[in-house]
Amino acid sequence: MKKLFAGIKKELILLGRDKAGLTLLFLMPAILVVVITMVQNSTFQLMKDNLIPVVIVDKDNSATSKNLISEIAKIKEFNITVKSTLSEENLNKGVQKGTYKVGVFVPKGFGDFTDNTSNVTAQQIIASINDKTYGEISKSDTVRIQLIFDPVMKLSFRTAIKEGMENIITGMATKQMISTLYAELTDREIPDKIYKLLSQKPHYFEEKIKDNNGQTVIPSSTLHNVPAWSVFAMFFIVMGLGTNILYEKQQGSFMRLRTLPVSFMNVLLAKVITYIMVCFAQIAVILAIAFYVFPSIGLPTMEWPPSMITFIIITFLIALAATSYGMLVGTLATTIAQASAFGPISVMVLAAIGGVWVPTFAMPEFLQKLSIISPLNWGLESYYGIFIRHSTILDLGTYVLLFIMFSICCFSFTFASLKKQGII
Amino acid sequence: MNAISIEHISKSYPSSDEKALDDVTLTIKKGSIVGILGPNGAGKTTLISSIVHLIKFDSGNITVLNQPHTNPAIKYKLGLVPQEYALYFELTPFENLVYFGRMLNIPKRELVKKIDELLEVLGLTAVKNNRLKTFSGGMKRRVNLAASILNNPEILILDEPTVGVDVQSRAVIMNYLKQLNEVEGMTIVYTSHLMAEAQDFCRFVYIIDNGKIVVGDSPKNLMNTYEVKNLEEVFLKLTGKNK
């Protein structure tokens, strides 16, 4: 036991003197978690609070186009400005330059076209009921609204705006068509009461975000980023541990230890314990930032998980997996360049496919399938389970097994490789 | 009494067709200073690594202090000064020695006393709290030696301990080794290709070449037998190679 403590003390001193390594292990994840959470939070706030500026040029000036503008104005995410004096060319230029994010150009004749389309559709329905036919609208008569987007706007924004507009126009056309049908079938104008009914939007959906205990959970950028960067930080010890083992191999201290009355297991165990302690220290730093710094800079706060034991067990398993991986990298590497390049790059790749940078559901299907091989994904999903879904250790049984198997495999390969190299 | 007995050991590496050690037999008497001399690649380090059980040989037998060399208890009685600086450069000499001393189960108080004593003798007291990475090669060699004799081993094996060492450090190291042998009765086994140093230091030498022991005798007898003025000429006569 005294030998083990001496080994841990030696490892801690070595770590403490590696200022660059400490910066990478503690400062980098701390900066990342703050910066990325702020960025994601501001994007969330942009969607929530900052309205997207939409400029509408109404050259039609019909009842339909005015109705369209009033319907668009009801969309909470849009900040509408109507500039009907603007030419189509100037609107295009304004959007291209980024002066306007979205331009809507309603050409002259749009109202007549939509009215005509609805009437023709209604007449086609009536003709069909009476086993007759009715003529179609010529394509040359088509009048389209132009949606002009700033090139920097993301596809997701563009799609959301386009679908919102389509919903409005489809709703208006449907109302017009039903009014025409009503008039044709009853020889009366549609009553205001019925017309207003058509304008009402039934609420088909009720949004619920619940944890495993049925409690409502409000997702936030903090709840995504704190677990994600914690797992990333823990696996980043691969760099320090990898080079640590390589130095011992190259400088001969492993060889000296073999001539001393100490088990090599003892030597390696001291490293494992030290780096697991480092992982817990990293988690403590990141959580301290999330709890005490985030609220003071306007970021969503963190909540303690309901089961601290589950959190500690999972953190230990992630730390064990990260440590075993670091030892394997250090054992297989033959140069410092290999250890200090392969380790971090492999962690970056595993983080990318594991959902640390971008959530796995937003990835292509084959990457989603690939994500299950990443231990960072297991860590991330386990932490999501603990912090968001409030899962128990039994709920996370699959990940527990995966972590144990991964660690056993890494340690086994490490021992086999050290034996092959004649070090143990 | 023999400190080390080596009987017919052979060793081959998969990467080479030639044997690194070819039926080597030798004995090292307790309390002696024995040099194992040979050109680069002759098999000196392989022989030493076999004695301290760092590598497994293919055939033969080694006993250390009348016990199989694989006996874990031997590790308390045998010290190795490897050719590499087997130390932690980010630690101070004191921290390095504390760590290796703890691995030898030396009680803390006794260990600190021993470390202070060794650092004093080896001229390192003034820099005992400086990190090793700031040291010259000679100073690192002295710490390397100190780390191997913390528990006063009965046998000390040194693999080219003065390679790349300045004159001052070499004198400190060689004088201290002589003192360890004369005062403590420590058996010293030493490999080198520095013939003048070996001639002055060793009472008995084995010359090894191509994995085989070519000859074993005192430097004086060897010079008389081969009718030459120094050990270097004996070496060149026997190996036909440069040092």
> A50-199: which CATH number, 3.40.50, 3.40.190, 3.30.450, 1.10.3470?
3.40.190
Q: Would an 8 Å CB–CB cutoff place A265 in contact with chain B? A: no
- Give the pLDDT band (50/70/90) at residue B99: very high
pLDDT of amino acid A63? 87
For chain B, positions 210-229, list CB contacts with chain A under 8 A.
none
What ipTM does the predicted assembly reach? 0.86
- CB contacts of B141 in chain A (<8 Å) are none
Q: Which two tokens stand for residue B89?
A: 């450069």
Please give the interface size between A and B, counted as residue pairs whose CB atoms are below 8 Å apart.
72
What's chain A's average pLDDT?
86
- CB contacts of B73 in chain A (<8 Å) are 261
Q: Is B190 exposed, middle or buried (0-12, 13-18, 19+ CB in 10 A)?
A: buried
For chain A, positions 7-36, list CB contacts with chain B under 8 A.
7, 9-10, 13-14, 17-18
* Angle between helices B137-148 and B93-103 in degrees, nearest 10: 20
Q: Closest-CA residue in chain B for A16?
A: B90
Contact at CB, A259 and B100, closer than 8 angstroms: no
Q: Would an 8 Å CB–CB cutoff place B84 in contact with chain A? A: yes
Gap between the Cα atoms of A295 and A215, Å rounded: 23
Q: How many CA atoms lie within 13 A of A233 on its CB side?
A: 30
pLDDT in tens, A43-82: 666 555 567 788 999 999 888 888 888 888 887 777 888 8
Task: Calculate mean pLDDT across residues A403-413.
Answer: 96
The more confident residue out of A199 and A59 is A59
Query: In DSSP terms, which residues pair with A147 in a beta bridge?
Result: A104
Q: Which two tokens stand for residue A207?
A: 């949004």
Share of chain A above pLDDT 70, in %: 93
pLDDT in tens, A226-247: 898 999 999 999 988 988 898 8
Are B188 and B33 contacting, i.e. CB atoms less than 8 angstroms apart? yes
DSSP category for residue A252: S
Q: How many CA atoms lie within 13 A of B155 on its CB side?
A: 26
Are B191 and B158 contacting, i.e. CB atoms less than 8 angstroms apart? yes
Q: How far apart are the CA of B57 and the nearest CA of chain A, in angstroms? A: 12
DSSP category for residue A147: E
DSSP category for residue A202: -
- CB contacts of A261 in chain B (<8 Å) are 72-73, 75-76, 103-105
Gap between the Cα atoms of B147 and B118, Å rounded: 9
Q: How many CA atoms lie within 13 A of A200 on its CB side?
A: 9
Contact at CB, B88 and A14, closer than 8 angstroms: yes
Nearest to A388 by CA among A244, A221, A243, A199: A221
Domain boundaries of chain A, sorted by first residue: 2-43+215-420, 50-199
- CB contacts of B148 in chain A (<8 Å) are 256
Contacts of residue A1, Cβ cutoff 8 Å, sequence gap at least 6 = none
Q: Which stretch of A45-49, A100-104, A368-372, B95-99 has the lowest confidence by average pLDDT? A: A45-49
pLDDT of amino acid A138? 67
Amino acid identity for residue A91 in this structure: L
Q: Would an 8 Å CB–CB cutoff place A251 in contact with chain B? A: yes
pLDDT in tens, A141-168: 788 888 898 877 777 778 878 888 888 8
Q: How far apart are the CA of A6 and the nearest CA of chain B, in angstroms? A: 6
pLDDT in tens, B140-169: 988 988 999 998 899 999 988 887 778 888
Q: What is the pTM of this model?
A: 0.77
Nearest to A172 by CA among A139, A136, A201, A134: A201
Q: How far apart are the CA of A269 and the nearest CA of chain B, in angstroms? A: 14
Q: How far apart are the CA of B8 and the nearest CA of chain A, in angstroms? A: 23
Share of chain B above pLDDT 90, in %: 38
Query: Would you list the DSSP string of A332-355?
Result: H--SHHHHHHHHHHHHHHHHHHHT
Q: Which two tokens stand for residue A50?
A: 């900052």
Q: Closest-CA residue in chain B for A424?
A: B54
- CB contacts of B50 in chain A (<8 Å) are none
Is residue B197 classed as helix, strand or coil in its secondary structure? helix
Query: In DSSP terms, which residues pair with A236 in a beta bridge?
Result: none
The more confident residue out of B90 and A140 is B90
Task: Calculate mean pLDDT across residues A90-111.
Answer: 86
What's chain B's average pLDDT?
88
Interface test with B, best of A18, A251, A260, A423 (most B CBs within 10 A): A260
pLDDT of amino acid B157? 93
Q: Count the Cβ atoms, other than its own, within 10 Å of residue B227.
A: 9
Q: Which stretch of A93-102, A174-183, A209-218, A268-277 has the lowest confidence by average pLDDT? A: A209-218
- Specify the pairing of strand B59-64 against strand A78-82: unpaired
For A259, the closest of B54, B83, B102 (CB atoms) is B54
- CB contacts of A255 in chain B (<8 Å) are 54, 82, 84, 86
For A92-130, letters b (16+ CB in 10 Å) and e give bebbeeeebbbbbbbbebbbebbbebbbbbbbbbeeeee
Gap between the Cα atoms of A303 and A235, Å rounded: 23
Contact at CB, A10 and B99, closer than 8 angstroms: yes
Residue B242 predicted with pLDDT over 60? no
For A251, the closest of B53, B85, B131 (CB atoms) is B85
Amino acid identity for residue B67 in this structure: Q
Q: Would an 8 Å CB–CB cutoff place B88 in contact with chain A? A: yes
Contact at CB, B87 and A251, closer than 8 angstroms: yes
For A251, the closest of B54, B84, B147 (CB atoms) is B84
Task: Calculate mean pLDDT across residues B62-91.
Answer: 90
Amino acid identity for residue A173 in this structure: A
Q: Count the Cβ atoms, other than its own, within 10 Å of residue A294.
A: 23
Contact at CB, A10 and B91, closer than 8 angstroms: yes
pLDDT of amino acid A282? 95
Contact at CB, B102 and A3, closer than 8 angstroms: yes
pLDDT of amino acid A222? 85
- CB contacts of A258 in chain B (<8 Å) are 54
Q: Closest-CA residue in chain B for A14?
A: B90
Gap between the Cα atoms of B77 and B64, Å rounded: 9
The more confident residue out of A306 and A378 is A378
Are B111 and B101 contacting, i.e. CB atoms less than 8 angstroms apart? yes
Contact at CB, B100 and A10, closer than 8 angstroms: no
Contact at CB, A256 and B100, closer than 8 angstroms: yes
